[in-house]
Structure 1
Amino acid sequence: MTPPVSSRATGADDAQRRDRAVAALRRVAFLLERAQATSYRSEAFRTAASVVEQQTPARVAALVAAGGLTELPSVGARTAGVVELAWRGKDVPYLVQLERELGESVTAALDSAGADAAAARTLRDALRGDLHAHSDASDGGASVQEMLLAALELGHEYQAITDHSPRLTVANGLSAARLRAQLDQVAALNRAVTPFRVLTGIEVDILDDGTLDQDPDLLGELDVVVASVHSKLRMDRAAMTRRMIAAVRDPATDVLGHCTGRRLLGRERPQSEFDARAVFAACAENGVAVEINCRPDRLDPPHDLLALAVEAGCDFAIDTDAHAPGQLDWQLTGCLRAVRHGIDSARVVNTWPVERLLARTHA
């Protein structure tokens, strides 16, 4: 029997209300991640979003009416409050506060850039994707699906997933078998999200002798290979230079990640010593983009080395090195640093259409 029109309408309205509540929870999580709040805070909202999304609209409606949202697993008083307000179409004060703080931080960053602000905005608008991001398969805090949803919301056309390689056990680096399983997952996602493109990738560890920490044949199958140094960062200058040049010359390498390895916040770490002119010359010669890493605790390369990379004729990738969805919104920081050195969109590979980008990375 066909239900009355009013019943169908009510069901559709409840579905919209549930989806609005889920979107509010995810937005809170996103903004907390962007602001580098402690991970347990953002995870609480993101987990609650997943739980609410799995409920039928009628079930959520009943719980809202009864004041019983906290009966759901992983839904506490604060997340329930967000759901109830969003369900009823009311402003969520906590979300309003976070949005205001985001606006203030962006305004402050652009104000500090002075005459470069307009160019930075233009460059940010030209970015089509991000070539360095992690999922919970290694040391990220969210699934590949959550990462690509955030990229879609940012208006991107593609997103590379570059989890760590096996030697980096502290980051749960992916073995060849685990990476191949991820490639199957990405292939399935690409069928569902077209024309958006999830790019297969890896942040591969540069070993002591400059070789790359993954099966060479498997590296050749990936869309994007970011090569980074994660160990023996205080290696002798000459040895580090040889190590990095060897990695840059590997045909699999597409991007040189956070080249100095420095850390600016928390457990600070000085930058590695190497012959930057020689390394960047090798990048330019071999078509390897130098990453402008946007993480607030990295901001790598430092400005003096970034100037040398520009002088060497390098191309660049403005990447977030995101470990959570909200961190994908850090690219403006890299754009502000790039325009300070006269880097325009033509030299930033992730402003390119995906076909042009892949023609380079698969060459």
Structure 2
Amino acid sequence: MEPVQALEQIALLLERSLAPAYRARAFRTAARTLRELGPPEVRRRTEAGTLESLKGIGPKTAQVVREALAGQVPEYLTKLESEVVPVAPREGGEGLRALLRGDCHLHSDWSDGGSPIEEMGRAAAALGHEWAVLTDHSPRLTVARGLSAERLREQLDTVAALNETWAPFRLLTGIECDILDDGSLDQDPELLARLDVVVVSVHSKLRMDARAMTRRMVRAVRNPHADVLGHCTGRLITERGRPESRFDADEVFAACAESGTAVEINSRPERLDPPRRLLRRAVAAGTLFSVDTDAHAPGQLDWQIFGCARAAECGVPAERVVTTWSADRLLTWTRGDAPHAKR
């Protein structure tokens, strides 16, 4: 096993296990450093004992390199492979997964993701996606390094430059925009209008009174700039967990159906949002859907199978899943030139 391959596999397993982002980032940083050096120089430095003098190489990553160069499977990799057990989706999601062409919700290290934009895009393309949407957080979510208007404009230029080299894969511009307490959106309307896809999500005051939360969400999904309602209940189903926000789901989903805002089927194992009972109500309401990963690292981009399994179980029609559409059809929808269009 090559050292770069070993480091990247360790990073992927850490990402899938929901380990703190800094742990996986250390291994991806080390892999980039070695890739830039090239195999001969990596071996020379390893034999000379100077590997750890390189920026981005620490004791743990250097040990992985030494073991890989010695022809061994690194001990740390073996340990992770025995510990990280993937969540097994129920049968039935494979058909929908085969139809997916993109992902409307992923993050980079510009906000709270663990990897650069380029790594996220390349990983999405390697999975067979035709497109993906970069949706870093909006300004209010300071804990996640939400993007100011100035930083978002800078990101638009970065994405444009990457797309010049990526054809046929396309990285679409977007944002995960906070739904503020009154239902307004946390970014300049002029800037939201420039983005390809806007995911709107509640991240604060999750225990708000049900009637107030309903008004808040309805106003947000009716906003002409909103395209996808992200992780609608805000729940976490980890050991410590977080309960669902309370709101009138029928009223919110009716507003989504009327305005053409898709309901996200969030595939993160600790979210799986909305719950099945609400997902079935969204189906009955006639909404569109977006099966997304909400990935914060490359190793999480293949989580869509979890959302697909739940969609199949709850009777979500594939033709109403926007992540099965081509990029051109998706943009026709978000720009207001199609049935259910937003703008």
TM-score (norm 2): 0.90
Q: Is residue 142–residue 324 contact of structure 1 (8 Å, CA) maintained in 2?
A: yes
Q: Does 1:204 align with 2:177?
A: yes
2:216 to 243, 262, 270: 243
Distance 1:99 1:121 in 2: 24
Q: Is residue 133–residue 321 contact of structure 1 (8 Å, CA) maintained in 2?
A: yes
Percent of aligned pairs sharing the same letter: 59
Q: Is residue 280–residue 315 contact of structure 2 (8 Å, CA) maintained in 1?
A: no
Read off the aligned partner of 1:318 and give its amino acid letter. Answer: V
Cα deviation 1:214-264 (Å, max 9, x = unaligned): 111110110110011112222222221111111111111110011111222
Residues 154 and 97 of structure 1: is their aligned pair in 2 closer, same or farther, counting only changes over 3 Å?
farther
Residues 217 and 43 of structure 1: is their aligned pair in 2 closer, same or farther, counting only changes over 3 Å?
same
Distance 1:65 1:148 in 2: 35
CA shift for structure 1 position 182: 0.4
Q: Say what the alpha-carbon RMSD is for the aligned residues.
A: 2.2
Name the SS of the counterpart of 1:105 in structure 2: coil
Paired residue for 2:44? 62
Q: After superposing the two structures, state which structure 1 stretch, 80-89 or 252-261, moved more.
A: 80-89
Paired residue for 2:31? 49
Q: Is residue 21–residue 113 contact of structure 2 (8 Å, CA) maintained in 1?
A: no
**Greater percentage in helix:** 1
1:295 to 268, 274, 285: 268
Larger radius of gyration: 1
Paired residue for 1:160? 133
Provide the aligned length of Structure 1 versus Structure 2.
Answer: 336
Distance 1:80 1:125 in 2: 39
Residues 85 and 362 of structure 1: is their aligned pair in 2 closer, same or farther, counting only changes over 3 Å?
farther
Cα deviation 1:69-111 (Å, max 9, x = unaligned): 3332332344234334555766556546655766x635xx14x
Paired residue for 1:23? 5
Q: After superposing the two structures, state which structure 1 stretch, 209-218 or 144-153, moved more.
A: 144-153
CA shift for structure 1 position 331: 1.3
Residues 128 and 94 of structure 1: is their aligned pair in 2 closer, same or farther, counting only changes over 3 Å?
farther
Paired residue for 1:6? none
Paired residue for 1:225? 198
**Structure 1, unpaired ranges of 5+:** 1-16
Read off the aligned partner of 1:276 and give its amino acid letter. Answer: A
Distance 1:345 1:23 in 2: 36
Distance 1:358 1:334 in 2: 22
Paired residue for 2:340? none
Q: After superposing the two structures, state which structure 1 stretch, 258-267 or 158-167, moved more.
A: 258-267
Q: Is residue 210–residue 243 contact of structure 1 (8 Å, CA) maintained in 2?
A: yes
Distance 1:238 1:93 in 2: 54
Q: Does 1:330 align with 2:303?
A: yes
Distance 1:58 1:89 in 2: 15
Distance 1:26 1:306 in 2: 35
CA shift for structure 1 position 44: 2.2
Distance 1:90 1:194 in 2: 38
CA shift for structure 1 position 23: 3.3
Distance 1:81 1:167 in 2: 41
